[in-house]
Amino acid sequence: MSRRLLMTARDAAATFNLIEIGHAILQRPNLELVIHAQRPALDYFRKAGLPVEPVELPSTAAREGPEARDLRAHARQLLERHRPNAVVCGLSTPFDGGIDEALLAETDVPSFVMQDFWGEANAHFGRYADCYLGLDEEAVRLTRERHGADGVAIGSPRHAVYGDLDLEGIRARTRTALDVSENTLVYGLFGQALHRIEGYRRTLRSWGRALSSLPAPRLAIYRKHPRESEADARATLDILAEAGLECVQTHDEPIEETLLACDVASSAFSLCNYDAAYLNYFAPRPLVTPISLMFDAEIVDYCRKNIRLDEFPFLRRRLALAIRSPEKLASTLAAAGEPETREAVWKAAKTMADPRGAADRALAAIESRMEAGPRPT
């Protein structure tokens, strides 16, 4: 008997994992898949060739009110229309709710959330998922400790495909397109939708000043986050220019291509650091040194309140460097491009869990829970 899975998503990070799970579902003759998504997830599902219907409703920071009611009503409509045997959701940022959180609140069938950050869960509308599909056992432990929610470690579905990429070929092609000479160090800045925080703008300014103080030849490139607007991108480039740094913006190519063009990849606390670590995991030689820019007090405070970055394995295991002081920014950026640092980060990445098979492990967990029957009310 065929079983139907209803998948939803809004944020990009979880979507990239759900895409791989979606492809695995479509290979199973005993499973059906329907997908509904808000932007930016909608666009990523379409690019991946998966059938998806749009959810034309905004997310909301409110737990009550018209926008919240509309989301929950839409979730009920989807459940009535598709009558799924289970729901598989993405994960919104912890300070608002979207179709994922609305569906969790309304469903009475087994529910799953694909985590993209260790221990993160969002019960914006009052209900957690039955099971969180975690990146590793550490993610499962943190989810249980913080939220009292159940989980299973499946690995990182989106990174399994890295094992099939021609990493050296992509690196050579993207650096040629950027006209990078052999001895030029490429420093990437990976943006985040944090322009409302003055500390983020200070971080950008400090990064620009520090990098502009380093000797040539070097090239700075900037990749905006999916949730950054074009105005945010222009503001970033303006801040860097005012700091004395000219920066080339990359656009629609996969983020892995931008990362592979870099010798050093910087962000406040973006998951691109985790992407870079898995590129190093599969690489036959050191490729890129990821850096977390964690020196501004306001950014550090934001992280402690919202995502507890200090607990995350990619920092604790030195898969990425963390800059804790603005005085050390220039020297750490310089050291990050040195062969010794790049090799140390590359070797650390080799200790990561193999992501291959993660999508199949997710389906095994989902099918097992479906066999257990309806969700308790």
* Neighbour count for residue 163 (Cβ, 10 Å): 13
Under DSSP, the state recorded for 164 is G
Q: pLDDT averaged over the chain?
A: 91
Average pLDDT estimate for 84-112? 93
Tokens linked to 44: 């990523």
Burial profile 164-193: b = 16 or more Cβ within 10 angstroms, e = fewer = ebebeebbeebbeeeebeeeebbbbbbbbe
pLDDT confidence band for 115 (50 / 70 / 90): very high
> What kind of architecture, by CATH, is found in domain 3-156+355-371?
3-Layer(aba) Sandwich (3.40)
Instruction: Supply the pLDDT for residue 318.
Output: 79
N- to C-terminal Cα distance for the chain?
25
Instruction: Supply the pLDDT for residue 254.
Output: 87
Domain-by-domain residue ranges, the chain? 3-156+355-371, 164-349
pLDDT, tens digit, for every residue of 125-179? 999 999 999 998 888 998 999 899 999 999 999 999 999 999 999 999 999 999 9
Instruction: Supply the pLDDT for residue 282.
Output: 96
Cα distances (angstroms) measured from residue 50 to each of 42, 305, 351: 10, 36, 33
Average pLDDT estimate for 263-274? 90
Nearest to 273 by CA among 101, 156, 108, 375: 156
Query: What is the identity of the amino acid at 355?
Result: P
d(CA 143, CA 10): 21
Whether the Cβ atoms of residue 223 and residue 190 lie closer than 8 Å to each other:
yes
Under DSSP, the state recorded for 344 is H
pLDDT, tens digit, for every residue of 72-83? 999 999 999 999
SS3 168: helix
CATH code of domain 164-349: 3.40.50.2000
Q: What is the 3-state secondary structure (H, E, C) of 273-335?
A: HHHHHHHHHHCCCCCCEEEEECCCHHHHHHHHHHCCHHHCHHHHCCCCEEECCHHHHHHHHHH
Which residues does 59 contact at the CB level (< 8 Å), separation at least 6? Answer: 10, 38, 67, 71, 92, 96, 97, 98
Percent of the chain with pLDDT over 70: 95
pLDDT exceeds cutoff 90 at 92: no
d(CA 51, CA 229): 26
pLDDT, tens digit, for every residue of 174-232? 999 999 988 899 999 999 989 999 999 999 999 999 999 998 899 999 999 888 899 99
The structure's pTM equals 0.85
Whether the Cβ atoms of residue 247 and residue 237 lie closer than 8 Å to each other:
yes
pLDDT exceeds cutoff 60 at 340: yes
Is there a shared CATH topology between the 3-156+355-371 domain and the 164-349 domain?
yes
